[in-house]
Amino acid sequence: MVIGLGVVAFLVVREFDPSVFNKITFTWTSALWLFVAVLCMAGRDIGYMIRIRILSDWKLSWLQAFRVIMLWEFTSAVTPGAVGGTSVATLYVYKEGVSVGRSSAIVLMTSMLDELYFVIMFPLVVLLAGTGRIFEIPDSTGWTHGIMALALVGYSIKLMWVLGLSYGLFLNPRGLGKMIYRLFHLPGLRRWKRGAGKAALDIIVSSKEMKSKKPKFWLNAFLSTFLSWTSRYWVVNFLFLAFFAVHDHFLIFARQLVMWIILLVSPTPGGSGVAEFTFDIFLGDFIPIAGFAIALALLWRMITYYPYLLIGALLVPKWINNKFSSKGRSHAPHNSFPSDTSKIDNLDIPE
């Protein structure tokens, strides 16, 4: 929060003009569009909740799904973009009563579905909107080619991740399990080697279950992913509509896909500072009121970022107390791992 607000303060000092607010008229229509923007964020979380219930075969209740998603979003908000909430999401799902391996598989599948959305949508929007309109950002002399190159590198990484994960989960799960297990033979990770072997075994078992799912299962999972990400990107469109007319909604949507690459590699927690700065660069030319971009960037983050910090701060202590107390541990799921260490070492399970 300090980093993000610090960058906002810097931008305000650099280019904010208080007289801007004399040009703004706040009406009931403005309130309506702001409410719709908040509903879009709710749609994003509802999509995530539906997806995680689908991937868990509806074993997670709506309340459990809500807890997992809020904890996940809180972790994403307080960790660098390159790390994100995925780093501990398996723990959140596991503590809600899902086995370790299946929790790992669910988190891997959510990651693959998220990246699949980007892999499909990015070339589609570039094709429809055109590279010139997306990447030629006003007042960014010398940045155009750099932004385009960064977008292509980011897209390539996402594409390779989707292809690699798909291969590991659906074609060669044993190879993926062995890779995970061998990773924990490295110095500094060996103390968790046996646990990694157990998780790798369960991932292989869960992979078999996932390969047996019908196309409808995956279609529903992807549609919920589509709902989540599309709802997230439309927040900005409705935020703009609250204060002025918007003439190119699709281009705003396309620019946000590029913004996401920047935020993905952000070294700051939740993209703090980077998000506000890139908002001004990528979307400032859509704002007809000079000097108003900074205020909108702050309002955008108040809708899409800060609420998760507040919810997480309220939810995490109680969740930890419930799940890590002796009562919580007694209700943790039990995994049917082989007791023979050699089976774990060799990932020896029936084909």
SS3 80: strand
pLDDT in tens, 78-95: 877 656 667 688 888 988
In the chain, the amino acid numbered 347 is L
Beta-carbon contacts of residue 88 (< 8 Å; ≥ 6 apart): 75
Higher pLDDT, 315 or 24: 315
Lowest mean pLDDT among 118-122, 135-139, 316-320, 346-350: 346-350
- Look at residue 131 and tell me whether its pLDDT is greater than 90: no
Q: How far apart are CA 62 and CA 251, in angstroms?
A: 35
pLDDT in tens, 264-297: 766 666 667 677 777 877 787 888 777 777 788 8
Q: Which of 86, 90, 93, 37 is nearest to 68 (CA)?
A: 93
Q: How far apart are CA 105 and CA 109, in angstroms?
A: 6
Q: Residue 19: its pLDDT value, please?
A: 67
CB of 257 closer than 8 Å to CB of 122: yes
pLDDT in tens, 105-121: 888 888 889 989 999 99
pLDDT in tens, 217-265: 999 999 999 999 999 999 999 999 988 888 888 998 988 888 877 677 6
Question: Please, is 197 exposed, middle or buried when counting C-beta atoms within 10 Å of its C-beta (0-12, 13-18, 19+)?
Answer: buried
User: How much is the mean pLDDT over the chain?
Assistant: 79
Q: Which of 246, 282, 241, 289 is nearest to 17 (CA)?
A: 289
User: What interhelical angle do 306-324 and 293-304 show, nearest 10?
Assistant: 20
| Confidence band of 340 (pLDDT split at 50, 70, 90) | very low
- Which residue's entry shows tokens 């990932």? 347
Mean pLDDT of 89-106: 83
